[in-house]
Structure 1
Amino acid sequence: MRATARLRRAATALVAATAVLSAGTACGIADARENSVAVKDTLVIGVNADQPGVGERTAGGSYTGFDIDIAKEIAERLGVAPANLTFKQVGYATRDKMVQDGDVDLVVASYSVTPERKVNVSFAGPYYVAHQDVLVRASDAAKIRSIHDLKGRRLCKVPGSVSFPRVHDEQGVAALPVEADGYAQCLTDLTSGGLDAVSTDDLILAGLAAKASGSGHDLRIVNAPFTDEPYGIAIRKSDVEGCEAVNKAVTEMYQDGTAPELLKKWFGPVGLKVTTTVPQFEGCV
């Protein structure tokens, strides 16, 4: 009798514990879904502010560029009204942490997907695959025809960006680093003679060249790409539903012609050859 009673009490306790655990799990799932970008009514999207044609802050405080238009399209397709969309400037070295800390819901900022970055955040997309190239003054175009010609030359280095390490560390080219706080400063230094080249993604270089042309400076893209740079949309690692919703939005943008039109709008005038088919996605993990 006593043994039977003990068994009954143990069974009752187990049922109660299971119920508590199930309730906690259900609550956790509900909380996760409530915080997913798939169901939010408002969004804060992190963007760059120093990349002409890609992501740039204007004198009036608004943002403009290819990434900005992509971000607006994603928000609209997620059901977020323009009035409920906020852009927030991110830093090259702080993007991961801003997503992790919840300072931003998404990052659309020429953010190349790398294994190291995937440790901290997940990536929807990519929404475009760029290629790293080199930008030089027109007067130096005959002397600098590939990254290997950057040996011993002054090359812009932006902390937090993978572009300089791609040349110096991965390709083994002994370029001389000239630090800048962003690609706007790289452009200023290049046109003023403070450095010899800027190497980063071709979309960024195209925007820099276009801006320089508008102020009377003649710059050239070397057109010797040496990497693939998948531009992902950074999102919290736990938000699988949100990641899948963003992927759906990106797919629709290519299928209905929106993405190709935006590429043409921002990079057609500088003659950059762009890809207009939907990229292969990373997968939401």
Structure 2
Amino acid sequence: MKLHRIPAAAAVALVLSVTATACMGDDGQESGSKSHSGETIRIGIKYDQPGLGMKEPSGEFSGFDVDVATYVANELGYDPELIEFVETKSADRENALSRGDVNFIVATYSITEERKEKVDFAGPYLLAHQDLLVKAGSDIDEGSDLDGGKLCSVAGSTSAQNVKKNIAPNTRLKEYSSYSECLAGLQNGAVDAVTTDDSILAGFAAQKQYEDQFELVGLRMSNENYGIGVKKGDTATLELVNKALQKMVRDGSWGKAVKANFGLIYRYEPAPRIGVVKE
């Protein structure tokens, strides 16, 4: 999705003029105005989630989260060349924000009450659901079929624990550092299923190297409200990001990004309302 610089709306300009120091970086420079003098913005994303956050062999970045992050950064006054995407794995998201390693995080970051104690969330900007990815033709048609089998998820994710607690208590859990490793394990038979959000699983299943090898079971075990993580207490940035997300939906850019990144493989939900988290 190609984005062009768009003049800030009057409301955004007013917020920036009143809170000129609210979005300051560690070096004291303002990070919310339209003039950055080459200053970059650091945004946490995933590097290994096709369709969402992916670092291509060329060094370019692709995916829905990347498009959302680019749009939001543009609304905050940063052209694409001023964006620095930083790999932020699930287990390190809260620490990356508290340390100031990134300005905000757009990385399939589900809004939960526990996480809200450490992080403020803009959005949500996408509603996903936990599911299982299995080999095509697998006998696993529902969650209970996995009982006694081997289930993979990544360290720091709650998805595998949800399956074990609520659906298949005898499941043996295997945690890897990335979903790419989980997919390799599923491909070679080291695990029987991979679990996480259906949006993430659909992105992997749609890749050419995995064509026709995997399928989604179609379970909706949870509602995953993706939010943009902002440092706790940074209300000025939070408000600006929410305004940008609302505009992205309103001007049609959100819908275009969803279709461009997920195609027909993923049956996505309509854009959620800002501030409304579906239980």
Into which bin does the TM-score normalised by the smaller protein fall?
0.7 to 0.9
Per mean C-alpha deviation after superposition, the further-off stretch among 163-172 and 255-264 is 163-172
**Alignment partners' CA distance in 2, 1:84 and 1:73:** 12
Superposition TM-score, scaled by structure 2 size: 0.84
Call closer, same or farther: CA 1:182–1:280 in 2, change over 3 Å.
same
* Structure whose alpha-carbon radius of gyration is higher: 1
Tell me the CA shift for residue 220 of structure 1: 0.7
Q: Where in structure 2 are the equivalents of 1:143-182 lying within 5 Å?
A: 143-171=139-167, 173-182=169-178
Q: Where in structure 2 are the equivalents of 1:91-240 lying within 5 Å?
A: 91-140=89-138, 143-171=139-167, 173-211=169-207, 213-240=208-235
**Alignment partners' CA distance in 1, 2:209 and 2:256:** 23
**Alignment partners' CA distance in 1, 2:184 and 2:237:** 39
**Alignment partners' CA distance in 2, 1:246 and 1:203:** 22
Checking the alignment, whether the CA contact within 8 Å between 1:55 and 1:65 is kept in structure 2 is yes
1:43 aligns with 2:41: yes
Checking the alignment, whether the CA contact within 8 Å between 2:127 and 2:272 is kept in structure 1 is no
**Which residue is equivalent to 1:278?**
272
| 1:87 aligned partner, one-letter code | F
**Alignment partners' CA distance in 2, 1:210 and 1:175:** 26
Tell me the CA shift for residue 97 of structure 1: 0.5
Which sections of structure 2, spanning at least 5 residues, go unmatched?
Answer: 1-18
**Alignment partners' CA distance in 2, 1:30 and 1:170:** 48
Alignment identity in percent? 38
Call closer, same or farther: CA 1:256–1:199 in 2, change over 3 Å.
same
**Which residue is equivalent to 1:249?**
244
> Per residue, is there more helix in 1 or in 2?
1
1:32 to 22, 29, 42: 22
Please list the CA deviations of residues 7-37 of structure 1 after superposition, one character each: whole Å capped at 9, or x if unmatched: xxxxxxxxxxxxxxxxxxxxxx864343475
**Alignment partners' CA distance in 1, 2:274 and 2:81:** 31
Tell me the CA shift for residue 162 of structure 1: 1.6
Give the 3-state SS of the residue equivalent to 2:84 in structure 1: strand
Give the 3-state SS of the residue equivalent to 1:108 in structure 2: strand
How many aligned positions are there? Answer: 251
**Alignment partners' CA distance in 2, 1:195 and 1:259:** 35
Checking the alignment, whether the CA contact within 8 Å between 1:107 and 1:235 is kept in structure 2 is yes
Give the 3-state SS of the residue equivalent to 1:94 in structure 2: helix
Give the 3-state SS of the residue equivalent to 1:86 in structure 2: strand
Checking the alignment, whether the CA contact within 8 Å between 1:37 and 1:242 is kept in structure 2 is no
Checking the alignment, whether the CA contact within 8 Å between 2:205 and 2:211 is kept in structure 1 is no
Give the 3-state SS of the residue equivalent to 2:151 in structure 1: strand
> Per residue, is there more strand in 1 or in 2?
2
Tell me the CA shift for residue 215 of structure 1: 4.3
Please list the CA deviations of residues 134-156 of structure 1 after superposition, one character each: whole Å capped at 9, or x if unmatched: 1110120xx21222221111100
1:263 aligns with 2:219: no
C-alpha RMSD of matched pairs (Å) = 2.0
**Alignment partners' CA distance in 2, 1:59 and 1:50:** 11
Q: Where in structure 2 are the equivalents of 1:79-90 lying within 5 Å?
A: 79-90=77-88
Please list the CA deviations of residues 152-191 of structure 1 after superposition, one character each: whole Å capped at 9, or x if unmatched: 1110031111211221235563311122111011111111
Superposition TM-score, scaled by structure 1 size: 0.82
Call closer, same or farther: CA 1:208–1:266 in 2, change over 3 Å.
same
